[in-house]
Chain A
Amino acid sequence: MAKGVKPRIKVPKQASAGDMITIKTLISHKMETGLRKDSDGNKIPRSIINRFTCDFNGENVVDVGLDPAISVNPYFQFNAIVPESGEFKFTWYDDDGSVYEKAKKITVT
């Protein structure tokens, strides 16, 4: 199990209808590729975040597959126009089966 994994998100608390908002997400993760060997020549097993999703009010809006070439601490930033108040839910899927979740509410006025 990957250690020190901590998801972080930055979503504005409120927005006006029709405004473009910027959403930033970052998860601290070592993103071990599985291609490296340790000092004894043994393969270091792959351990990466392999999928990232974002749902808004239960509907999927972003779904990204990640591969071993992605750097340590993967960072995603995307824009959205939010039509109504609701909750963003972010989910990261780890190779070891762990699922990290984080949610944030936004009020649209």
Chain B
Amino acid sequence: MSFFNKIFVGSVLLILGFSTVSLADESAKLVVEGQPMITRVKAPSHMENVDEIRSGWTFRIKETQSLQMDDFENPGMIFVDKGLDLWNKVEGSKNKACASCHDDASEFKGLRTVMPRWNESANALWSLEDHVNNCRTEQMGAEPLKWGAAPMDSLIAVISLQSRGMPMNVKIDGAVAPLWEIGKELFYTRVGQLDMACSNCHEDNYGIMIRADHLSQGQINGFPAYRLKNAKLNSIHARFKGCMKNIRATPYKVGGDEFRALELYVASRGNGLSSEAPSVRN
């Protein structure tokens, strides 16, 4: 008796990393593992030129969109697994792991949605990376991790995942107000050989094609994001750097003052959208 009599094997589908061209389904609803996400919402009052803010997910093609709806298919979850291994790994002179103080990362529920924020004791604007590195150097006696490198992004994905579905709510007044103004200035300043500002693509022209790419609003509510183009998690600053290279500008330093201010401003433009990390993008 052949095995076909017992078991019928249907189509064997091998994903090779390419898909046929199809347009974005802009009305689709994002539901991740049964949890609905806010992908379209009224713009926060500090955004003068945009009425509705939209997650980058709404600009992607159907195939890319569906990858984010199932944690098994979301390749970003591979890096969350790697991040969890690192979370439990004892390092440094004090023989501690992240898990020694923080158990699983669930106590960080909501942290992603308020970052970056002002840190009183450090008297500086802190991104999630600063929290990770501060813990490593002060509490663990370990070497700080490099911004934008795989171990850092994996750990941040673990922390960010705890806030998935919660709306972004970055504070822009108080001590961070002057930095927010700097970030806004950067967003609207033309730079590079192509003489373009962030706003030229992500505010004036989102929704149209720039050659083969569908321009989004440049929201960072889904970061760290898994990108199909480089098959890894991408940090916010690394994405800024990539954008600046595209317009043939000299990128600012990853983890530097300019990108920190820009991160604050861009994050605040997404206030109201769900945190989606780890998201899947093209």
Q: Do A and B come from one complex?
A: yes
Interface residues, chain A, with chain B CB atoms under 8 Å away:
4, 6, 8, 10, 20, 24, 26, 28, 56, 59-62, 64, 69-84
Beyond A10-B72, A24-B73, A28-B78, whether A71 also contacts B7 by CB under 8 A is no
- Chain A: which residue is nearest B79 at the CB level? A28
User: What are 27 A-B contacts defined by CB distance under 8 Å?
Assistant: A6-B78, A6-B81, A20-B10, A28-B81, A56-B6, A59-B7, A61-B3, A61-B9, A62-B9, A69-B16, A71-B17, A71-B231, A73-B75, A73-B78, A73-B231, A74-B15, A75-B14, A76-B12, A77-B15, A78-B12, A79-B9, A79-B10, A80-B7, A80-B8, A80-B9, A81-B7, A83-B6
A-B contacts, CB under 8 A, total: 65
Name the contact of B3 in the complex, choosing from A10, A26, A59, A72 (C-beta under 8 A).
A59
Query: By DSSP majority rule, is chain B's interface helix, strand, loop, or mixed?
Result: mixed
Partner of A80, one of B10, B16, B73: B10
CB of A89, distance to nearest CB on chain B (Å): 13
Q: Which of B7, B11, B81 contacts A82 (CB 8 A)?
A: B7
**How many positions in chain B have a CB within 8 Å of any CB in the partner chain?**
20
Looking at chain A's contact residues, the main secondary structure is: strand
Q: Closest Cβ of chain A: how far from B131's Cβ, in Å?
A: 25
A75 and B231 contact, CB distance less than 8 A? no
Compute how far the CA of A20 lies from the CA of B25 in the bound complex, rounded to whole angstroms. Answer: 28
> Using Cβ atoms and an 8 Å threshold, which residues of chain A touch B231?
71-73
Instruction: Select one of A24, A64, A82 contacting B72, CB under 8 A.
Output: A24
